[in-house]
Structure 1
Amino acid sequence: MSKKYLTVLPLLCVMALTACRHPSEDTTPAPATSKDVVDTVTVHTAQVTDTLNLPARLMPNPTDVVHIYPPLSGRVLALKVLPGQEVSKGQAIGTLQSNDAASARSDFEKAKIEAARADLQLQRAKELLQHEVMAQKDYDDLKALDDADHSELERTRQTLHNLGFSENDASADLPIRSPISGIVLEVGTAPGELQRSLDNANAIATIANIDSIWVLGDLYPNNVGAVRRGQPVEVRISGYPNEVHTGVIDNISDSVDPTTLTLKVRVVLANPGHRFKPQMYATISVANLKREAIVVPSTAVIRDGVKNYVFVATPDHKYARRDVELGETHAQTVEITHGLEDGEQVVSTGAELLRQAGA
């Protein structure tokens, strides 16, 4: 055989071997390493579930939020709470000095005197009536006046009770009490500030019961078909990254928020110990439609700048680098959208060692 044919034959063999390789494979296979540091898995098409993640914030139930306004006009003498502080029902959160309070106590004392005098007059009239010295009509008039005085006494007594005073309390300083147990969301005044009961724009304090808390997520209208009321969800709250809380969609708003152009999705969570605070950030994860995809362990993928690749086992017991395109990333797996086929073997453990050996 001539030397010309001996030269062409090896060249044809190299071209044939090159043509058999996967288009995205590195033409220089990485050398095999010891079996105890490299593990492979056979990839198959698996069913995966898409997840729709909604950005969310924690909010108190609006029906459990109380804005405390002064019942009378006056000056704030003391304020005993700060935002974020826990308060109990009936706890005094401040003191208001009010001339109206002094007037209410004066009205009660006057009504008490008038009622006592009316009782005394009625008792005398009853004796006169028994001795036929007074006419029945005059007695009836005194009885009506006595009833009216006692009615006025009861009205002024009730006014004192509504203001937080007792009948025997001589102080004119009005205690401001919390009507519910909860957390102080906002304080709207300071000691020394004058408060008006009728035209006051700011509440003295805003208190919310957060035994349960709302998680409000933003849902864009193009995803509205992916969620429904009663659908199970997972909630992750900032500050507690390792905790996953389960719940259901309690409500989906019927109108679009004009600011965010989203619908509000509501999930209600129990909040024992008040660990979850209003305005915390959260994520609502909604399981969406299932689909088919090739999935590999996260440890199989090497990320090198803008490129991603895996090592594929070759028939000659070596490992070749294969460029791949990634899809969704899950807890311990990654979806491969392009670059692998069903049934191929990829390195799941030791890919970094192969990368270093092939460098």
Structure 2
Amino acid sequence: MTARRFYFTPLAASVAALVFVGGCKKHTTETAAPTQPTANIQVGTVHSETIDATLRLPGRVEADPDKLVHIYAPLSGRLLNMTLVPGQEVRKGQAVATLQSSDVAQARADFEKAKIETIRADHALDRGKLLASHEVMSQADLQELQATDSAAHSELERTRQHVHELGFSENSTSDITTVTAPITGTVLDIGTATGEMQRSLETTTGIATVANLDTVWVTGDVYEQDLHAVHPHAQVTVSFTAYPGEKFSGTVANIGDSFDPSTHAVKVRVVMPNPGHRLKPQMFATLLLSQPAQPRILLPAGAVLHDGESTIVYVPAGDGKYTTKKVTTGAQAGDRIEITSGLNDGDRVVMQGAAFLRQPVGD
């Protein structure tokens, strides 16, 4: 018997009859048990109870991926003047570090070289035109000079744009660039330190991670047997280990479409407002989803025994004897277990001392 993640809150004891699966008695195995002293045995009458069921899902807080960014170096170089610390609030456009880059020097050198080649090509084309006008140069040679001049101008424009893409002017001499925060948010972690070299196209570690925590996700794991009980837009009450006694409200925003192969669970996501940023990423949470009230039969955990692969209870057979009856169990509610089939309202069952009625091994 595997306990599911439900707990029950009794609303009212209902004596209304509840008939479970009609065919359950077909699987009943009756075996006479030896007479036992009645002092240790307590027999009671089974009654159905109308109870509320609440599905409990383990979860944790996550930053909204749409509002989370990893800050990477815009170009390769040495990081200078790092000003970030975890937990710090930053504004969009705020300078968080400076970077001294050899990429800028190389880009400017390429630009200056292209400029010289363009001037040289312009002069060669001017001479060619003059020679062609005096029929000293052929038109084919002149066209070759024109093509070379056009290529030189194209390369000049390419190198100019490269310098601009790096965030610099081709007329500047500085090789220091400022790294800014792309969004307003909270610094979650730092991936580097002042003085470290950055490789903009090679590194997988960012300078820092910043997230806007005005809203957060609370994701829970829904196991296969409970998936039917979770629905989009359902109301959810969320509790957090960090805030005992407090309850937070939300709605189911999304239910995953695939099972995690390691946990065999589907992710359910609740989007929650986070005033004051009290909810922190990776904080543990419990999602509570109320289920419709329905009549159920509950027995004390000690009344339900395992016999091989079967689950059984003992029932009176008269003359101080007892027989076994197979049952099917459901959720466990504290020290009581739900019986989903095998018993009907009004049945008499051994509530206490069932273990004393077991047949001795080897007899």
TM-score bracket, normalised by the shorter chain, equals 0.5 to 0.7
C-alpha separation in 2, matches of 1:70 and 1:288: 50
C-alpha separation in 2, matches of 1:235 and 1:115: 68
Corresponding position: 1:96 with 2:131: no
CA gap of 1:140–1:210, structure 2 versus 1, over 3 A, is: farther
CA contact (8 A) 2:67 2:211 kept: yes
Alpha-carbon distance, 1:165 to partner: 2.1
Aligned-pair RMSD on alpha carbons? Answer: 3.7
Residue 186 of structure 1: aligned partner: 189
C-alpha separation in 2, matches of 1:198 and 1:127: 48
Residue 250 of structure 2: aligned partner: 246
Alpha-carbon distance, 1:171 to partner: 0.9
Pick the structure with greater CA Rg: 1
CA deviations on 1:56-103 (whole Å, 9 max, x unpaired) are 211123454433333544322221222222334444322222323321
3-state DSSP of counterpart to 1:79: coil
Residue 207 of structure 2: aligned partner: 204
Pairs within 5 Å for 1:152-301: 152-210=155-213, 212-236=215-239, 238-239=242-243, 242=246, 244-256=248-260, 258=262, 262-271=265-274, 276-291=279-294
C-alpha separation in 2, matches of 1:135 and 1:272: 79
Corresponding position: 1:115 with 2:136: no
CA contact (8 A) 2:250 2:270 kept: no
Which amino acid is the alignment partner of residue 248 of structure 1? V
CA gap of 1:161–1:245, structure 2 versus 1, over 3 A, is: farther
C-alpha separation in 2, matches of 1:241 and 1:127: 92
TM-score for both structures, normalised by structure 1: 0.58
Which stretches in structure 1 are left out of the alignment for 5+ residues? 1-42, 294-326, 330-336, 338-359
Alpha-carbon distance, 1:217 to partner: 1.1
3-state DSSP of counterpart to 1:288: strand
C-alpha separation in 1, matches of 2:149 and 2:91: 42
Of the three residues 55, 59, 66, the one matched with 2:58 is 55
CA contact (8 A) 1:236 1:244 kept: yes
Which amino acid is the alignment partner of residue 256 of structure 2? I
Alpha-carbon distance, 1:146 to partner: 2.4
CA gap of 1:195–1:151, structure 2 versus 1, over 3 A, is: same
TM-score for both structures, normalised by structure 2: 0.57
CA gap of 1:130–1:181, structure 2 versus 1, over 3 A, is: farther
3-state DSSP of counterpart to 1:287: strand
CA deviations on 1:235-293 (whole Å, 9 max, x unpaired) are 345559656332224123521362x5543211223557756432233332212131259
Residue 36 of structure 1: aligned partner: none
3-state DSSP of counterpart to 2:205: coil
C-alpha separation in 1, matches of 2:243 and 2:164: 44
User: How many residues in Structure 1 have an aligned counterpart in Structure 2?
Assistant: 254
CA contact (8 A) 2:188 2:211 kept: yes
CA deviations on 1:313-347 (whole Å, 9 max, x unpaired) are xxxxxxxxxxxxxx989xxxxxxx9xxxxxxxxxx
CA contact (8 A) 1:253 1:265 kept: no
3-state DSSP of counterpart to 1:82: coil
Residue 45 of structure 2: aligned partner: none
Which amino acid is the alignment partner of residue 182 of structure 1? G
C-alpha separation in 2, matches of 1:289 and 1:137: 89
Alpha-carbon distance, 1:53 to partner: 2.6
Residue 23 of structure 2: aligned partner: none
Which stretches in structure 2 are left out of the alignment for 5+ residues? 1-11, 15-48, 297-331, 339-363
CA contact (8 A) 1:122 1:139 kept: yes
C-alpha separation in 1, matches of 2:156 and 2:278: 48
Residue 16 of structure 1: aligned partner: none
C-alpha separation in 1, matches of 2:184 and 2:127: 52
Pairs within 5 Å for 1:10-29: none
Alpha-carbon distance, 1:126 to partner: 5.4
3-state DSSP of counterpart to 1:167: coil
Which amino acid is the alignment partner of residue 92 of structure 1? A
CA contact (8 A) 1:183 1:207 kept: yes
Residue 5 of structure 1: aligned partner: none
CA gap of 1:126–1:279, structure 2 versus 1, over 3 A, is: farther
Identity, in percent, stands at 48
Alpha-carbon distance, 1:216 to partner: 0.6
Pairs within 5 Å for 1:74-89: 74-89=77-92
Alpha-carbon distance, 1:151 to partner: 2.0
C-alpha separation in 2, matches of 1:272 and 1:190: 31
C-alpha separation in 2, matches of 1:97 and 1:195: 10
